[in-house]
Amino acid sequence: MLDIRSLSKVYPNGTQALEKFSLSVSEGEVMAVIGGSGCGKSTLLRLLSGLESPSQGEIRLNDKRLEEPDPLVNIVFQEPRLFPC
């Protein structure tokens, strides 16, 4: 189960990408993230994959708090990328 609670992300320049976002996805459930340009979709995916840290809130996967990249979580970029070491 994926559980997101009151997730917020504010970038150093002051941009608020997400504010108090919450979501629960049960095992076997399928979901899609859709929305306009600049609404926080990519930020959400980067937070879920552990590539960025939230300003507030928490992300839990199978009752374990995600605080760094986890092998159970994958992301596919639109353009070729190398993961940071």
pLDDT in tens, 48-62: 998 899 999 999 999
18, pLDDT greater than 80:
yes
User: Cα 85 to chain center, whole Å?
Assistant: 19
CA dihedral 63, 69, 40, 14 (to 10 degrees): 110
68, pLDDT greater than 90:
no
Whether CATH 3.40.50.300 fits 2-65? yes
User: Are the C-beta atoms of 41 and 4 separated by less than 8 Å?
Assistant: no
Q: 0.85 exceeded by the pTM?
A: no
Rg (CA), the chain: 13
12, pLDDT greater than 90:
yes
